[in-house]
């Protein structure tokens, strides 16, 4: 039973890493593009 859970966990981890690596970059590492987008949405215009 524990080996089944281990295999399932490893498969999910590999799939998640693959999905993250296949995503298109949107300007910068570590989510900088996402932070800029939220700042544009939530902060008032100057």
pLDDT digits (tens, 9 = 90+) for 3-45: 999 999 999 999 999 988 888 655 555 555 555 555 556 666 6
pLDDT for residue 23: 82
Question: What is the number of domains present in the chain?
Answer: 1
Structural domain harbouring 35: 2-42
Length of the chain: 46
HEC string of the chain equals CHHHHHHHHHHHHHHHHHHHHHCCCCCCCCCHHHHHHHHHHHCCCC
CB 36, CB 27: distance < 8 Å:
yes
């Amino acid at each position: 039973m524990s080996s089944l859970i281990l295999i399932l966990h490893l498969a999910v981890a590999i799939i998640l890493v693959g999905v993250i690596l296949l995503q298109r970059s949107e300007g910068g590492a570590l989510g900088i593009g996402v932070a800029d987008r939220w700042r544009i949405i939530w902060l008032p215009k100057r």
